[in-house]
Amino acid sequence: MIEIVDMTKAHAKEVAAIEAASFIEPWSEKQIEELCGKYGVVARVAEDGEGKVAGYYSYNAVCGDGYINNIAVREDLRGQGIGKALMRDMTYTASLAGLEGLTLEVRSSNARARGLYESFGFKVGGIRKRFYQNTEDAIIYWLNVGGKDDIKRG
C-alpha cells in the first residue's frame, strides 16, 4: 500500500536515485532539494509500506497553470498502478489549487509515459522539434483541470 505525501528534503536522495534511473538528463539531488517547500511548487512522493519512496512528481504553478517537471516510479515497482495514483493526486491537487490546466513535454519515443498521460485525458498540444539534446522531438501535452468534474481519473 502506498501513501502520497508532500516531498521533503529527506526524500531527495531516494527521488534523485529514481530520477537517475528514469531520465537521460536527470535532476540532481540538490535541484530536487530546492523544490521542497518552494513557493509555487507542488512536489509529492508515493511512499511504500516501509516509508521508502516508490515514485514522485512535481509541478510549478505559473500564471494559473501547472507545468509538470517530472513524474517517475521506482523501476522495480513500475506497472503496479503507482504512476496512476500519482497522476490522480497531481490532477486533484492542481484542481484544488484552482489551476486551469497542466502541461508537460515528453520524449516522442516514450510510449509508456504517453499512454499514461493520454489515459488521464491529456491532449497533444504541439511538438518541440529536436528538444532533447537537440536530437529527439518533445510532444507537448495539455490537460484542462479547471474543475474537479472535468478531470478524467485514469
Which residues are part of the catalytic machinery? 105, 117
Helices H, strands E: what count in the chain? 4, 7
Radius of gyration of the chain from its Cα atoms, rounded to whole angstroms: 15
Per the CB < 8 A criterion, the answer to whether 130 and 136 are in contact is yes
Cα–Cα distance for residue pair 65/115, rounded to 1 Å: 22
Cα–Cα distance for residue pair 143/154, rounded to 1 Å: 13
